[in-house]
Amino acid sequence: VGKGEERSGGRGKKAILADAMEALFGAVYVDGGFEKARELVLKYLVPEISKVLEDRHRKDYKTLLQEYAQKWLKTYPVYALASKSGPDHDRTYQISCSLKGSSWGPASGKTKKEAEQAAAALAYEAIVQAGGQDAERLLALKKL
């Protein structure tokens, strides 16, 4: 991007990013043919589309986990400070996330909020990997 566009936040504009991605896919198609372009799309674009379709594209894992827990488990996640270390100006927090007797973490972050997000991400991704709405199965297995 040019200097003016750079100053106005051009690198993060969705339209510019979409145009760049389209140009990349087009260049791969022209240079390498359909199969190479298909491989690129399958590797980089399809996983992102799947996240949107499964409503996992949002990065606020605390909200995702809480909505999931309320809807399917009729409870809330609980976050606990496992430890904190470092001087006041450079603190690191370790936080665990518990849900219906199962626990994930601890996860670290430079703020409590960041560590809670990381712990929620561990829990949410574990539930998704275990089959999503079948979270009761995951929670039962973790208790064994």
* Predicted pLDDT at 83: 97
What integer pLDDT is reported at residue 56 of this predicted model? 61
pLDDT of residue 13: 83
List the chain residues with pLDDT less than 50: 140-144
Q: What is the DSSP letter of 83?
A: E
Does 46 share its domain with 72? Answer: no
**pLDDT, position 143:** 47
| Range(s) of the domain holding residue 139 | 61-143
- Looking at residue 55, what is its pLDDT? 63
Our count of domains for the chain comes to: 2
Strands in 78-85's sheet, in edge-to-edge order, are 78-85, 92-99, 102-109
Same domain (yes/no): 119, 72: yes
